[in-house]
Amino acid sequence: MLMLNKTAGVFSKPSKKKIYEFLRSFTFHPEKLFLHKLVLGIETSCDDTAAAVVDETGNVLGEAIHSQTEVHLKTGGIIPPVAQRLHRENIQRIVQEALATSRVSPSELSAIATTVKPGLALSLGVGLSFSLQLVDQLKKPFIPIHHMEAHALTIRLTNKVEFPFLVLLISGGHCLLALVQGVSDFLLLGKSLDIAPGDMLDKVARRLSLIKHPECSTMSGGKAIEHLAKQGNTLPLDFKAPMQRAKNCDFSFSGLQNIVGSIIMQKEKEEGIEKGQILASAADIAATIQHTTACHIVKRTHRAILFCKQKALLPQTDAVLVVSGGVASNLYIRKALEIVTNATQCTLLCPPPRLCTDNGIMVA
């Protein structure tokens, strides 16, 4: 109404140009009228600088992300001071971009949420100090976020999932199984005793020099392994699945990495090639490591489902298993997990790929 009165007063003889100028002077965002709380989420725990604005009903108003993957692929792994420098170089731009695409001004924010643990200390520090400056400047509340809890709860943005549910987080830096009983109520059932599956796949891909493979040069190690595995056959492996006797749901991947390392050495001898050249049997090795990794992940997850059901921590039917993290985008591993969820009357849910990996939305 106010707007109409103003319009009537301003334009006695309106020209088209003036009308457009006038209309442009109003920034009218109908979607904002019903919003109350807006949270800016900031993520810098590893090698992604990410930010997003989410409202209290879970609507994503805008997001921005800068991935360092390309740089780290070239150096053969994350070098923490390099990751820190890249976060420093990008954080301001990424936060500004997230706010601009959301059409939210900093003063409209209700709070700023930032990953504070776990992660690379140097990387976490960039997000934290940037956020603390911002909350001080804007006089807004600060919400410290646990990175794994953010990953575990992300599914609730896209699916109506009730507590409790089981979550399996598998990525380059994470490997854990937990029962999610509430927003900040987690029961840790198992974790990797050494490296994460994505880290192991990255190391094997590097040892196989897959970055030199014409089909895989821009792919992460895990993705390259999945891609090549489709063209290969599993080799017989003299390897007992790890943790068979461990009465918990822990994981271990470094033994598998060592075994595959020996196979690669043997194949290099057989094929008469030097370390650093691509083996003719690379696809078979990729298929073997992918299959063995899937078997191990599935066995530990099966154990966790049975344990939770036996202790009545999960419902007997229609229990939910959420799988997230970069490795969760592997379709072979997903299929293997589906066999277990079908056999135990559970539902397998995976967030869409962009929410599986590190992002600002999950933090907000």
Applying CB under 6 A, among 202, 216, 284, 294 the residue interacting with ligand KG4 is 202
Q: Of these, 358, 359, 361, 362, which contacts Zn ion (CB under 5 A)? A: 358
Q: Which does 220 bind (CB under 5 to 8 A by kind): Zn ion, ligand KG4, none?
A: ligand KG4
Look up residue 328 and give its two tokens: 């969760």
Copy the structure tokens of residue 170: 């598998």
Binding map of Zn ion across residues 293-332, x = CB under 5 A, - = no contact? ----------------------------------------
- Least distance (Å) between residue 344 CB and ligand KG4: 24
- Of 66 and 309, the one with the shorter C-beta distance to ligand KG4 is 66
Q: What does the DSSP assignment read for 40-70?
A: EEEE-SSSEEEEEEEETTS-EEEEEEEE-HH
Show contacts with ligand KG4 in window 2-61 (CB under 6 A): 46
The residues, ordered by sequence, that sit 6+ positions from 140 with a Cβ below 8 Å of its Cβ are 109, 110, 111, 112, 134
Report the distance separating Cα 334 and Cα 349, nearest Å: 10
Partner from ligand KG4, Zn ion, none binding residue 84, C-beta < 5-8 Å depending on class:
none
Q: Sheet harboring 175-182: ordered strands across? A: 185-191, 175-182, 165-170, 319-324, 346-349
Residue 326: CB minimum distance to ligand KG4, A: 2
Residues numbered 323 to 362 that lie near ligand KG4 (CB under 6 A) are 325-327, 329-330, 357-358
Beta-bridge partners for 224 = none
Retrieve residue 302's tokens: 């099966």
Instruction: Point out which residues pair with 319 in neighbouring strands.
Output: 346
Take residue 363 and report the two structure tokens written for it.
């933090």
- 197-207 vs 221-229: helix crossing angle, rounded to 10: 70
Q: Tell me: does residue 289 bind ligand KG4 (CB under 6 A).
A: no
What is the pattern of x (binds ligand KG4, CB under 6 A) and - over residues 128-167? ----------------------------------------
Binding site for Zn ion (CB under 5 A): 358
Binding site for ligand KG4 (CB under 6 A): 46, 171-174, 198-199, 201-202, 220-223, 226, 325-327, 329-330, 357-358
